[in-house]
Chains A and B, each alone.
Chain A
Amino acid sequence: MKLINQFTLWYLCISAIVLLAGGMIVFYSVQREIIDEEGRRLKDTVKLIAGLLEKGTEIDDIAGHQVIIRELDPAAAEIPVQIKDTLAWFEPHQHFERELRASASYKIKDKHYFIAASNLVAESDEILDGVLQSIGWIFGLLLLVVALSGRLLSKAILTPFQHTLSAIQAFHLKQKDPIPFTTTRTDEFKTLNTFLGKMTTKALEDYRSLKEFTENASHELQTPLAIMRGKLELLLNSPITDTQAQLLADAHQAVDKLSQVNKSLTLLARLENQEFESSQVIDVSQLTLDTLSTFAELMEMKNLTLKTKIEADVFVQLHAVLASILLNNLISNAIRHNSTDGFIYVTLTPATLIIQNTGNPPQLPTHQLFERFKKSNQSNDSIGLGLAIVKQICDVSRFQIKYVYAEELHTVELNFSTKR
């Protein structure tokens, strides 16, 4: 929900509550005012009539509509002025109406008069109707004004914020310059921009130094490794005894492994650095077929049966180098961890790539096999980075991957279509 809509909604909720409370107050005070005022007026009328009677005016001249004058027993006590709020039959409308009546008795010239003056007043529900109607109108007006002015104002006030937002969205670690923020007079946005500016500059610097470190580390390690390997290879070809050859072989193997690990870790670091932008579109169908044919001889040697269901023209956005590493690793894994006379099933649809193979059950929970240096069989010679690289490639390319072992089949399922 947009910020402005939230503000508007909350504001209107609060206004509604305040208006309701206000309405109650208006209702009660208006009602009280009417009753008080009318009561006072009626009392005055009663007193006025009493005054007239004292002056000697005839009762018949005064009595009439809404005024009653009656004679009481002169011995009875005087009734003080009192107001009564009652209902009275209203002839023209044929129903009861609210009526206010002031009554009193006065002893004037040895006679005892009872005087009552009454008047119809507005009923509570009528007042309520009026109050509700006006509040309704006020609320409607408020709604209109708040919605309109809110939008216009927020557009004006939030413009720098929108700029900042779009600048952050466009931000990429690989860009060379920090984000250019527009200047603003709002303090909060100033703080935000300064903070973001510092943060992105720091991120850019960190990214750069990480990248440099990766490249340097790779270079600094590769050079001594190259020397060691080169010297060992020269030594291998010099006249040596069998014992020396064995010693050399072990050293040579260690160097090979070290350089493999280094190469793979460098690749992983570069993947994490997002150095492989996948703007290209790859024909996965063709690549899968090519990769399978590269490994055909290996499958033959292990007497594996390959069954494929590869749909043609499956195109996926992926860096060419990553695509071939991905397929190489997955297919060579399926061969390597297979049992002799086993099976490999490769299924490719526009949405998924599924590679299944027979082989020993994994000795680790399958999801752990994606972690670095985790191997189902710790004693074997692989360095245990193949699947970690696969996972990293999937993460970078926003594919989903899962590894399941069920019904004696290792299944790696890659989902291309889950691009976020």
Chain B
Amino acid sequence: MKVLVIEDNKTIAHTIQEYLSGEGYICEVGFTYFEAENKLISFPYDCVVLDIMLPDGNGLDILRFIRAEKIETSVLIISAKNALDDKITGLDLGADDYLTKPFHLPELHARLKAIYRRKNLKGDTSITYQEISINTDTLEVLVNGSLLDLTKKEYDLLLYFLINKNRVLTRQSIAEHLWGDYTDNLANFDFVYQHVKNLRKKISAAGGKEYIGTVYGLGYKFDTSIAT
């Protein structure tokens, strides 16, 4: 997957680039409106990560540009402005999703994956890793061919793990992923632990391996080195 990150803050842009490259993406960055337009005209991208505030223009205008030029790409808006108007305008202008800064990198990755799946993999709605297979259409999970009885949250959690394999997922990041913004009340809850515990139990009951490991003090990690 080829991603263009349009973000005026170079540090953030490079952080995103580094993370996404680590996930095997081809990731390019553009720091200005001008640069972004140039790249969009010259090269095709599967997805654009777009910051609303740019030094030489408004990110929303890039959305209008993409639309006007009929460029085939998905757009994920990232903005420090949690202003609802921007959100609605952005989505109206054809953006696929909206993420407020500061976000967790695994969250950004999960959103990108979700957009990509929705747009590009028509018909192919399964994500498979070893004995675990997820059908994102029917929300069903199979382990060794047998159906897992997961709650909605456990399903979301497993998908989050599978998308961010071998990445440390902090409890905070998981909590925000499962419950969205304003998880103040839940942030340091034991609930994340409970969900992970239940998910592990269900997977191993179906004969799956213990991929989900605890990273002491930090969170959890879907460890693929277990498979071998």
A interface residue numbers (CB < 8 A to B): 215, 218-219, 222-223, 225-231, 233-234, 236-237, 242, 245-246, 248-250, 252-253, 255-257, 259-260, 263-264, 266-267, 276, 294, 297-298, 301, 321, 325, 328-329, 332-333, 336, 381-383, 385-386, 389
Contact = CB atoms under 8 A, between A and B. Distances in A.
Contacts of A229: 102-105
By CB atoms of chain B within 10 A, which of A218, A234, A237, A383 has the most?
A237
Interface string B151-184: 1010000000000001110101000000101101
A252 B170 contact: yes
8 residue pairs, one from A and one from B, having the closest CB atoms: A226-B102, A230-B15, A222-B80, A381-B188, A332-B185, A249-B217, A219-B80, A256-B172
A246 B217 contact: yes
A263 B82 contact: yes
B216 A233 contact: no
A230 B216 contact: no
Contacts of B215: 236, 245
29 contacts: A219-B53, A222-B100, A222-B101, A225-B101, A226-B12, A227-B11, A227-B12, A230-B19, A230-B102, A233-B105, A233-B106, A233-B170, A237-B168, A246-B217, A249-B170, A252-B172, A256-B170, A256-B187, A257-B187, A263-B181, A263-B182, A297-B195, A298-B186, A301-B191, A328-B182, A329-B184, A329-B185, A381-B188, A382-B188
A321 B106 contact: no
Interface in B95-125: 100-106
A320 to B, nearest CB: 9
B18 interface: yes
Interface of B: 9, 11-12, 15-16, 18-19, 22, 53, 80-84, 100-106, 151, 153, 166-168, 170, 172, 179, 181-182, 184-189, 191, 194-195, 215-218
A336 B185 contact: yes
Given A246-B216, A264-B184, A233 B83 contact: no
A242 B184 contact: no
A321 B84 contact: yes
Nearest to A301: B194
Contacts of B102: 222, 225-226, 228-230, 255, 259
A381 B105 contact: no
Contacts of B216: 242, 245-246
A111 B202 CA distance: 152
A226 B185 contact: no
A386 B184 CA distance: 7
B184 A223 contact: no
A208 B204 CA distance: 57
Given A263-B181, A381-B188, A227 B9 contact: yes
Given A226-B80, A226-B103, A382-B185, A297 B19 contact: no
By CB atoms of chain A within 10 A, which of B11, B102, B103 has the most?
B102
A93 B181 CA distance: 103
Contacts of A386: 184-185
B184 A385 contact: yes
A413 to B, nearest CB: 19
Contact of B184 (A222, A230, A294, A382): A382
Given A227-B9, A230-B12, 9 more contacts: A215-B81, A215-B83, A234-B105, A246-B216, A255-B102, A294-B179, A298-B191, A329-B184, A386-B185
A230 B181 contact: no
Given A227-B9, A229-B102, A252 B15 contact: no
Nearest to B18: A234
A118 to B, nearest CB: 102
Contacts of A233: 19, 104-106, 168, 170
